[in-house]
Amino acid sequence: MLLRKRTAKTEAPSDAGGTLALALVEFSADWEQTLHNLSRLDLLIEHLYRDLPEKYPLFYPDVLVLPEFFSTGFTMNPDCAEFPDASPTLSWMTRTAGLYDCAVAGSIPVHLPDGERANRFYFVGQDGIIAQYDKRHLFLGGEDGNYTPGSQRVVFEYKGWRIMPGICFDLRFPVWMRNNPAEPYDLYLNVANWPSARKKVAEVLAEARAIENVCHVAFCNRSGKDVLLEYGGGSVVLNHRGRQKSADLDIDGTLVACASLDKAEMLRYRTSFPMLQSADEFFLQEPRPGAFLGGLRRRHE
């Protein structure tokens, strides 16, 4: 399950088989302490690579995945948002990618040119940003009033894999992430701050997203507590049939879910059972303000 052979850096076509090795780091961020958290991550990742040869000698990550708001915790504080062109967290991600010959993924709060802010996922290599995505479905517990929702689905290619990113609450909305012929993907990568109280919900949703889209799913959640909530961890990598592919590694008390994914196996399954050919076509529209939850939201204000 964790075997990955090192190969030359050539990009395979997106419809070719291949493996992709993921390490999901279930990091517990200290509240609004960006530089301190990045320093903690330096040590944690150093120890991860120290221990990998003994635990999984043939495994070497292509992607290090970190949770939503991994450098700040799930804060609404505008002072914690970063400007993308002068971001200490983005600089750290680029440096870490170069140091360990991998990509680094996670989300951070960023300032937008119009003065608003977004919850932005970054996928970063040693030469800088490979892809970015602004969270579409903002959580109703305050995030929706402090950040601007994204409006664009993103699918990008890395090492021959087509990847669709998502952030936490996005996991609940299958229409947004529906795999379709116009914009197909192989891996859905969700980074989260998902509370312990709804841990089972995340497990069921992640399995459903894998099965209905015939894709791999990686769900990287934080652990620990912040000033408001306790987080349940539960980071996992699933294959296209919703079956767990990851094995857990304890690094200084932090769980790291490690998996090597087989694209060829997924493509064979899609050929033998082409269920996506029967999927309904649809067109996304902007949600109406207050639709469905408008009354409920007013009662809680």
By annotation, the residues acting in catalysis are: 68, 135, 168
Give exposure, 29-53, as e/b (b: 16+ Cβ within 10 Å): beebebeebbebbeebbeebbeebe
**CA 163, 168, 173: angle at the middle one, nearest 5?**
80
Q: How many residues does the chain have?
A: 301
Q: What is the DSSP letter of 149?
A: P
Structure tokens at 192: 């989260």
- SS3 for 190? strand
Asked if 121 and 133 touch (Cβ cutoff 8 Å), the reply is yes
For the chain, the helix, strand and coil percentages under 3-state DSSP, each to the nearest 5 = 30, 30, 45
Strands (E), the chain: 19-25, 63-65, 103-111, 117-125, 128-134, 156-158, 161-167, 187-192, 216-221, 223-225, 230-232, 236-238, 247-251, 254-262
Cβ neighbours for 202, distance < 8 A, ≥ 6 positions apart? 171, 192, 194, 219, 221, 232, 234
CA distance 130 to 157: 9
Q: In whole angstroms, give the CA distance from residue 297 to residue 141.
A: 10
Cβ atoms of 238 and 206 closer than 8 Å: yes
Question: Strand, helix or coil at 172?
Answer: helix
